[in-house]
Structure 1
């Protein structure tokens, strides 16, 4: 579907929804509707409708229907959409400190992660994003990332040498793969499957949800449960749209977002287990696909190699900010 046709379809949907609602909010995201993020977006739309008694309608455009990976923030700035849910790496050129979230092994576990997101550091970064002309609403969860390849099992850092890994547009992620001798390739999420299929890239790093729902297991032979990094999203709204939005409806939008964040995070936690179960079932019947779990010794080796990139980003992210994260108990 061409971009013009997409916009025409979107306009038709908005006109029909506007008949019933006084206000329409366009929400765009790039993942499948059956992911935690996709279901969270639909839940948000539902709750907004309920809390406002139908005065506000949220129209959700999933799967890059309107804008692809990397296009959402610009579209928001131009007022073409009202809410977007970019991954943290998409803020690199706007708020360089957001690269903190891309650092390998920066979070010990989910408990540590949420304490950071919902605490002082999370608020500092939301304030920085808001200062750039957005309304930073909340952090959503995709999960810890796992390594995959169609070349061989990735168990030790040396196994990644020479392999081409797809990465999001992030200096940190590029540095992380270069640290283990791999070749990072920046690609939009919507193009990853075909790139793997055609051999343009050899491997990926993805949460299990994205790996499964996009069927990357069809074009990868090995999945390693590495938990080496984290992928999350910051839900943002157009500042100009929010300023014009009726004051009496704003608390309802914020309440719907609060509930949706809780819902999405709960789904993400459940989803990891469900996706791993499904992938294990697939691996049992597949001749080519295998799942590997790192030993403690292997994890230490990965962390040692990847943590070496931290000093490169002290001046960009802020060494103090990194230490604040590490100090959270």
Structure 2
């Protein structure tokens, strides 16, 4: 009998220990931008909903401002399980999933509504499925926003205004091809190094959505902001797939529902605050150019689309066209 009670007691302790371990589950959530950026709002809302929906069984610890590495390092960390959730520009996933490059093509999304329809529909699901082969569970597409150009030389209104500019670019092949085509001198640099590169003249131009220009204070080292809106940049919010698969069905539902709600909230904030940010940048001395010849840019960059199709086929572009028409 004594042996029985000892065994029962041990089993109870193990069960309690397992429950305690479950209650103490903490997800490490990393992103590359300052806490003033709206991506932090997304992370905070995700944390709030997950912790509320799971009754504290899952906690979320946020690491902003590239604390856990640059974009690629955070993706690699998420694939290996060192990081649980990562939010970075979708362009950073194109090395793993080349099809994601279709969403980076210049002028592919004429409106945000079309972008959301595509990303939240079949084309976005196609890319999400391809990510799983790399150990990533896509939780959704946040919004970085429409990219615009800043520089120190003068207003950019037509394609010829880019000739000779040392333009910082990210690792999007489509955008690199675009700036090469338009006569700029594209140079890839991590965003963490960009302020200093602009300040010291290593590069004299860059392109980013308004929120990034504002949160990184690029207006302090750039004179001109041209509202070219030449490309829509989505964010890829991903989780280590094995970590996700190891959760209970209820916990998985809490994660996916929290991600969807946080992304919806963040998209709305980006739209609501964009004009306010532009006004603030203008008020701090930045010259804002609104009379951009968008049609001229659209005509000039068409070969970039042709290159993408030649290298990747047009299957995803057809999916995008079908989703847009619905």
Tell me the TM-score normalized by structure 2.
0.89
| Alpha-carbon separation, structure 1, partners of 2:89 and 2:199 | 24
Q: Any residues of structure 2 matched to 1:133-152 within 5 Å, and which? A: 133-152=135-154
Question: Which residue matches 1:290?
Answer: 287
Q: Give the total of aligned pairs.
A: 305
Asked if the contact 2:147–2:230 (Cα under 8 Å) also holds between the matched residues in 1, the reply is yes
Question: Which residue matches 1:48?
Answer: 50
* Structural RMSD (CA): 1.7
Q: Are residue 301 (structure 1) and residue 296 (structure 2) matched?
A: yes
| Alpha-carbon separation, structure 2, partners of 1:116 and 1:247 | 27
Of 62-71 and 173-182, deviating more is 62-71
User: 1:52 Cα shift?
Assistant: 1.1
Asked if the contact 1:176–1:306 (Cα under 8 Å) also holds between the matched residues in 2, the reply is yes
Tell me the TM-score normalized by structure 1.
0.89
Question: Which residue matches 1:205?
Answer: 207
Q: Any residues of structure 2 matched to 1:44-193 within 5 Å, and which? A: 44-193=46-195
1:69-94, CA deviations, whole angstroms, 9 ceiling, x for partnerless residues?
A: 22111111221100011211111210
Unaligned runs of 5+ in 2: 1-19
Asked if the contact 1:96–1:316 (Cα under 8 Å) also holds between the matched residues in 2, the reply is no
Asked if the contact 1:69–1:189 (Cα under 8 Å) also holds between the matched residues in 2, the reply is no
Unaligned runs of 5+ in 1: 1-17
Secondary structure at 1:100 match in 2: helix
1:239-261, CA deviations, whole angstroms, 9 ceiling, x for partnerless residues?
A: 12122223442211222112111
Question: Which residue matches 1:310?
Answer: 305
1:230 corresponds, among 227, 232, 235, to 232
2:319 corresponds, among 298, 318, 324, to 324
